[in-house]
Amino acid sequence: MNNNVKLNIENKAYELPLIEGTEGEKAIDISQLRTKTGYITSDTGYKSTGSTQSAITFLDGENGILRYRGYPIEQLAENSTFLEVAYLLIYGDLPNKEQLETFTSGITRHTLIHEDMKKFYEGYPSKAHPMGVLASMISAMSTFYPEAQKSQLNPEEVDVTIRRLIAKSATIAAWSYKKSQGLPIIYPQNRLGYCANFLHMMFALPTEEYEVNPTVVKALDVLLILHADHEQNCSASTVRMAGSSHASLYAAISAGVCALWGPLHGGANQQVIEMLEQIRNEGSDIQKMVAKAKDKNSDFRLMGFGHRVYKNFDPRAKIIKKACDDVLEELGTRDPLLDIAKELEEVALSDSYFVDRKLYPNVDFYSGILYRAIGLPTEMFTVMFSLGRLPGWIAQWKEMRDNNEPISRPRQIYVGRKERDYEPLEKRN
Ligand code: ACO
């Protein structure tokens, strides 16, 4: 490949270097563009802009490929565990037995949250959305562990912060659910694995025995693995951007949780279920919903459909769809929303509006049904996404700091008023 590209601006020629990734992805390096030409590029929403060079996740949206550190998502979902995948994302390779044991026991040791943090739960309204609780509690962790701000590049300190974040976020999330239900919080049981412990904190009651179902544990493990990273999406970019100011890892992750919350990103899984419930409540008229999604006078979109980068299929949606069928069969439950979802998918995929725009079910389309089967309430869906995405955010933050990336500071094209003089109040209309 030619290593440069020529650019002509106002009859002057400039050479810009080309970059090629290990999977053949190509980019024009414009980092010197403004210095050399006085011009910037304009790309609202970053549709054609690469913000970094990353070795964590490879995603080919045209061909439905997703790999973490080179490993296909299908193989990881089939064979791995969430904590093993977390290690892979954060440290670059699959752990050997000893590394995995050290990592796992390090996380297990940190599952308790500081007793003083428990008091925060008393201050939230009972209807507080658990994403708001999660974001603020993670941010509050920075006040309990201020050394994370001071020693950001000390590897041992970073490792402890990573373990604290992964372990305590699960406890924070489960307790936010208990509080929303007015139920007593359940302390972690460190003899249990990560997913089993989470389910125990969510569903156990002090009044009765609770047995964790291995099928549900496996399904949760798969869900978390599928959500663990997705290269430079909105929340990962937010984590990198917040962290680029050298705010602590806790602060950066809290920012990531907030970014994930929105319905166009991680919040879509909650919206999918609400949409399917609406279809059911209105007499299961799928054609009506599809027509509404196509109507340009309506704001309504088919939630769980479409993706900024997947323009063929979302490989995660395929795995989740199958997991959904398996779990419902194993648990012997039937969910009428699954039937509506399948029918909706069929109708949309044979409609030229969706076909022409390459709109396919994304990861959120079926994950909600799986969460429901596990017994998780709708408001917890995006929290589950956050727990899954946490290792990815950490890996993105770590890569950005290890590579000593500069502070993220995009430019803009100003389109506001030209300079004008201050008008005294009595002279204004
Ligand atoms: N329903 C109906 N029409 C849609 C949908 C949808 N779900 N998604 C996109 N379109 C249409 C748009 O109206 C637009 O049509 P037009 O060309 O006639 O104007 C065209 O498809 C392209 O859509 P954009 O919004 O430009 O695509 P973009 O890449 O910016 O957005 C997004 C991607 C945000 C995911 C979008 O498809 C969407 O809103 N989907 C629903 C929400 C959702 O499921 N989000 C979860 C994403 S996965 C994740 O974050 C984990």
* DSSP state at residue 226: H
Who's near 18: CB < 8 A, 6+ residues apart?
Answer: 1, 2, 3, 4, 5, 26, 27, 28, 29
Residue 300 is classified by DSSP as -
Q: Whose CA is nearest to atom 15 of ligand 1?
A: 357
Q: 202 alpha carbon to ligand 1 midpoint, in Å?
A: 33
CA distances to 39, 145, 176, 293 from 12, rounded to whole Å, are 13, 54, 60, 47
Specify whether 351 is catalytic: no
DSSP alpha helices (H): ranges in 59-183?
73-79, 82-91, 97-109, 115-123, 130-144, 147-150, 155-180
DSSP string, 173-195: HHHHHHHHTTPPP----TTS-HH
Fold assignment, 4-50: Rubrerythrin, domain 2 (2.20.28)
Looking at the CA of residue 308, tell me the nearest atom of ligand 1. Answer: 29
What are the residue boundaries of the structural domains of the chain, listed by start? 4-50
Place of tokens 């890996």: 395
Distance CA 367, CA 196 (A): 19
Cβ of 293 closer than 6 Å to ligand 1, yes or no, is yes
Catalytic residue at 307?
yes
The tens place of each residue's pLDDT in the chain, 429 residues long, gives 568 999 999 999 999 999 999 999 999 999 999 999 999 999 999 999 999 999 999 999 989 999 999 999 999 999 999 999 999 999 999 999 999 999 999 999 999 999 999 999 999 998 899 999 999 999 999 999 998 887 778 999 999 999 999 999 999 999 999 998 899 999 999 999 999 999 999 999 999 888 998 989 999 999 999 999 999 999 999 999 999 999 999 999 999 999 999 989 888 888 899 999 999 998 888 999 899 999 999 988 999 999 888 888 889 998 998 888 888 888 888 888 888 988 998 998 899 999 999 998 888 888 888 898 888 999 999 999 999 999 999 999 999 999 999 999 999 999 999 999 999 999 998
Tokens representing 422 are 């201050």
Catalytic residue among 129, 307, 356, 402: 307
* Ligand 1 contact, 80 CB (< 6 A): no
Using the atom order of ligand 1, give the atom closest to the CA of residue 306: 37
User: Which of the residues 200, 364, 402, 421 is marked catalytic?
Assistant: 364
Q: Does ligand 1 lie within 6 Å of residue 304's CB atom?
A: yes
Closest CA to 61 of 264, 265, 236, 315: 315
Q: What is the DSSP string of 367-390?
A: HHHHHHHHT--GGGHHHHHHHHHH
* Ligand 1 neighbourhood includes 362 CB (under 6 angstroms): yes
Alpha-carbon distance of 81 to 57, in angstroms, equals 17
Cβ-Cβ contacts under 8 Å for 279 (sequence gap 6 or more): 285, 286, 289, 340, 344
**Is 308 close to ligand 1, i.e. is its CB under 6 Å away?**
yes
